[in-house]
Chains A and B, each alone.
Chain A
């Protein structure tokens, strides 16, 4: 006897259908992205870093690749593909750090692919993607040395952070770097709002791929998120009204 979770399957198909549909036919409806200050100034900051011979650092957080906290790090990898392409020919190419070994390996693969696309495979160095520490605070403890010795002027945090994320952002601010920080944890987002120059609130970290124009599927993902969010809001309102009216669901 096979049991099916029909509701789950329906929701999954809804997500898939919207994602593929927007990716295939989304160009018919031009999408206007609201301005996110951090992404607006990120390109300029990277260009300035490349011209000044300074380094861009991307942190993928302390989350594990097999947990639910891997999602923002995977979004960070999508941003990495764009950032790496922009810094391929720089004197100091981008360096990616993670608090998990598997995430560091994924970062190396993403960097290698970016260098191959730029026809600069000989410039790729495996140590560009590295693990700084197995625990969150041991990871953060290594950041000040990295930022100061490698001349980091653009400090990107896109991954799963706890309270240590605020410390990581503060280290970047102390070095007067361009700090763009985003995570999935609401508590950490509150801390990043106070410490980072350009915090990403909510799910803005997942919009990085769309803002950096990684691909059409990223824009389609944003559209799908918006549409499903509206649907959820509608359902919440309906449920609230019905509960208020005494209708049990």
Chain B
């Protein structure tokens, strides 16, 4: 005994098993004898087939064969399969489709387009122009053995029958599904009901003439060849070598969990040649059948119209339900009376309306989706004219329904929005709107006066300006220094010992910003040098250096007689290196030469006569504010200066970095002069009252102001620190 595979879990089970041993799914579908007025519950109450009786699934097949034999006597009718008594379960499922009383979706839940199909079920012979599928073509080819008229009839029967089958497969879950044995490997598990419907479909159809379509039973009249071409299968016997396909029975819906959709696969069966011929219709015959229908089938307007072609009227509904044709069996969904169940001769089988299993019904979204589509009669169903479903009836109209927008006939899904979500959505909406909105140009903020900065600035200005305004003489305000810094003695001695035959090289290596300080510090030294009769040659590595040198020396001496400018030395430290090695080549020209040296160079001045190296100068004085410049001259000049002393005149800030050169065991700097107090002391030493003395009171007042400001700031900061620490908060920044 061959095993039966469970449609749910594919577990092999004994053939006589009712339910699956693994998952409990029903292996043998229940076959109901009487139609039940109830809906989905009928899925759970299927009467079991009574053993001993002829299986009902064989009735429809026998009827088809009988019809075929009577109509096609010359046909080579294949023998009926000896396994008719043991019809495969898929047939059983087809038979189950005729269970009376099984209703499809409740009234009012049938889609409109299906309703339209039902209304149009009476329309016969409507033409269609949609191409037929391949399987239909194969069915048609089997008509090649018979006369054309009979073939046409058979084709028509085949087309109708198969069309019904196919259409049932394409129905929504609420509707009846069909199985196409061995031709359609995908069989929906809900084919239980389709089985009953198919029995009705396989009723012998009345004869129809070529080329016109014979009147077909009401149940099948809705089917048009273009939708599901029906092909009447002649009776045949399955050859012995063809194995009976082991098709596991469709599981009972009651045995299935709502979430489980069984995978049901038909084993592939290699059909014998006879069957293939039967199922292979000739394309030409199909076309003949299709052509007359083509004229009559309602045409679905295309979405994209060609030029000159009118589009659909504006007020035309998106879905013309009246034009939709429904097969007969769909039309039966509207009938209240259960379809008759009896011999085939009494009429086409009534297909029970599609019913949903309970678990599927439970999955239906509540209040979010209501199918308002009613199943129409077959003759009212629209024949699909475009797309892969062309020629089929009862197909969901893609263009009118999906592509073209339509207002929802039922309320849209209600989305529960919380207040917070609503507020967030509003916020996002406002943000997006603001992006597009042009904001008016904001007025420039009025500048706030930095109070602290202004107070300190005014204080310092007053401190520096008042002594000058009051014309305080030196000594009347701040006392002059009494003690002479120890750095002044070596400097004084150097200047006193310098040879008057050799000029002094003074380098102005500072920017105009330091002019105020360095002019005051360097003036006493330069005054002393010039007073002794020493002549000065100036040089600078800054572009503004020569101008600064001229500004200072023009107050102290005479250009060309007491001093001469060598000019600007470009190149930074590299240029210094070049100059100390060869001064005449590095600084060939000069700056602001006197008239007697017009069109000449500074080296032709008598001041620089006999000078060709750095060591030819009597002294080298570097006036700078930056320690880098000082270090550069110290390091570059030391190898070349020989015995010539090197003196540094520095800003107060550069002193820490240059002093080590002066205080080293082998000093590279011979003297240093830094800060205004030292300059005042130097002026006192040379008995002069020049620039340094005039700045002494202002200098003192300014220093005192800054000291007081720093003390106040420190006290303010510490007090605030303590208060914040007590309060335990972070302090505010001031300003």
Contact = CB atoms under 8 A, between A and B. Distances in A.
B653 A135 contact: no
B511 A185 contact: no
Interface string B652-670: 0110110000000000000
A68 B511 contact: no
Contact of B628 (A135, A174, A185): A185
Given A163-B653, A164-B513, A185 B543 contact: no
Contacts of B511: 135-137, 162
A85 interface: no
A128 B571 CA distance: 26
Interface in A51-92: 64, 66-69
A134 B654 contact: no
Interface band, chain B = 20 to 34
Nearest to A65: B572
Contacts of A125: none
A134 B626 CA distance: 17
A43 interface: no
Contacts of B544: 135
A187 B573 contact: no
Contacts of B571: 66
B419 to A, nearest CB: 30
B574 interface: yes
Nearest to B573: A67
B151 interface: no
A187 B654 contact: yes
A136 B513 contact: yes
Interface in A160-183: 162-164, 174
A136 B511 CA distance: 8
Nearest to A64: B572
Interface band, chain A = 10 to 19
Contacts of B626: 162, 185, 187
Nearest to A67: B572
B365 interface: no
B653 A187 contact: yes
Interface string B431-459: 00000000000000000001000000000
Nearest to B574: A66
Nearest to A62: B511
Nearest to A186: B657
B573 A135 contact: no
A66 B572 CA distance: 7
Interface in B519-544: 542-544
B24 interface: no
Among A68, A136, A185, A187, which residue has the most Cβ atoms of chain B within 10 A?
Answer: A187
Contact of A69 (B628, B654, B656): B628
B379 to A, nearest CB: 65
Contact of B625 (A69, A134, A135, A162): A162
B513 A163 contact: yes
Interface in B171-214: none
A64 B572 CA distance: 8
Contacts of B512: 135, 137
A64 B628 CA distance: 12
Contacts of B572: 64, 66-67
Contact of B513 (A67, A137, A187): A137
B628 A68 contact: yes
Interface string A173-202: 010000000000111000000000000000
A185 B572 CA distance: 17
Contacts of A174: 450
B700 interface: no
Contacts of B702: none
A164 B510 CA distance: 13
A71 B350 CA distance: 98
A134 B570 CA distance: 13
Among B574, B625, B653, which residue has the most Cβ atoms of chain A within 10 A?
Answer: B653
Contacts of B574: 66-67
Contacts of A136: 511, 513
Contact of A134 (B543, B573, B628): B543
Interface in B481-540: 511-513
Interface in A130-166: 134-137, 162-164
A135 B657 contact: no
B106 interface: no
A67 B450 CA distance: 39
Interface string B602-634: 000000000000000000000001111000100
B726 to A, nearest CB: 26
Contacts of A163: 513, 625, 653
Contacts of B656: 186-187
Nearest to A136: B511
A220 B653 CA distance: 34
B569 to A, nearest CB: 13
Interface string A194-226: 000000000000000000000000000000000
B450 A135 contact: no
A185 B627 contact: yes
Contacts of B543: 134-135
Contacts of A135: 511-512, 542-544
Nearest to A140: B513
Nearest to A170: B453
B456 to A, nearest CB: 12
Interface string B378-421: 00000000000000000000000000000000000000000000
A196 to B, nearest CB: 14
B155 to A, nearest CB: 66
Contacts of B625: 162-163
Interface in B636-656: 653-654, 656
A137 B450 CA distance: 23
A80 B511 CA distance: 28
Interface in B535-555: 542-544
A193 to B, nearest CB: 14
A194 to B, nearest CB: 10
A110 B113 CA distance: 70
Contacts of A69: 628
A185 B657 CA distance: 10
B657 A187 contact: yes
B627 A187 contact: yes
Nearest to A135: B511
B636 to A, nearest CB: 11
Contacts of B657: 186-187
Contacts of A68: 573, 628, 632
A174 B628 CA distance: 29
Given A68-B628, A137-B513, 10 more contacts: A64-B572, A66-B574, A67-B574, A68-B573, A135-B543, A135-B544, A162-B626, A163-B625, A185-B628, A186-B657
7 contacts: A67-B572, A68-B628, A135-B511, A137-B512, A186-B656, A187-B626, A187-B654
Across chains A and B, which 3 residue pairs bring their CB atoms closest together, nearest first? A67-B572, A187-B653, A137-B513
